[in-house]
Amino acid sequence: MSAINLKIEFGGGLELLFSNQRSHRIAIPANVPVPTPEGSDVQTKPADLTYLIFWLRDNLLKERAELFVENGTVRPGVLVLVNDTDWELEGEGEYQLKDGDEIVFISTLHGG
């Protein structure tokens, strides 16, 4: 199965949930299963940012998942950038990841 290589950066205190390490290089599957009713054929879709958020929670996050994920997306107050562009301009969770993408997560919730 083909994989996509990504560079992940955490900032604004979020790195504390990820082994206190700001920069990570990861590889995730290019196509991921779509949840389907039991018995039907397994379908796949290209990996998107929503998939990545859950992948990070399940594979990279070390503590306090509730500070990262809430209601199927990042917790309100976490900013996401795709190749240095606000993810709100890139379709947010529906953005389809490409090999070599750089994704940045920054918490705005820590002290001023």
Partner 1 sequence: MPPRTCALCNDARAILKRPKTGQQICKECFFYVFETEVHNTITEARLFKPGDRVAIGASGGKDSTVLAHVMKTLNERYKYGLELFLLSIDEGITGYRDDSLETVKRNQQQYDMPLKILSYDELYGWTMDAIVAQIGKKNNCTFCGVFRRQALDRGAAILNVDHIVTGHNADDIAETVLMNIMRGDIARLGRCTSICTQGEDTIKRSKPFKYAYEKEIVMYAYFKKLDYFSTECIYSPDAYRGHARAFLKDLEAARPSAIIDIIHSGEAFEIKEDVKATQKIQQTCRRCGYMSSNELCKACTLLEGLERGMATAAVTDRARKRLDADGPAPENLRTIPMFQLPSAPRQKPTTTAVEGTT
Q: What's the min distance (Å) between Cβ of 23 and partner 1?
A: 14
Which residue reads 């301009």 in tokens? Answer: 89
Query: Cα separation of 98 and 28, whole Å?
Result: 11
Compare residues 12 and 29 and give the one whose CB is closer to partner 1: 12
CA distances from 51 to 20, 91, 96, 111 (A): 22, 14, 10, 29
Looking at 57, 65, 69, 90, which residue binds partner 1 (CB under 8 A)? 90
Looking at 49, 56, 103, 104, which residue binds partner 1 (CB under 8 A)? 104
Looking at 6, 49, 53, 106, which residue binds partner 1 (CB under 8 A)? 106
Contact criterion met (CB below 8 Å) for 35 and 52: no
Could you say which residues in the range 60-89 bind partner 1, by CB under 8 A?
Answer: 75-77, 79, 81, 84-86, 88-89
Residues 67, 69, 73, 78, Cα dihedral to 10° = 20
Q: Binding marks (x or -) toward partner 1, 5..24, rule CB under 8 A?
A: ------xxx--x--------
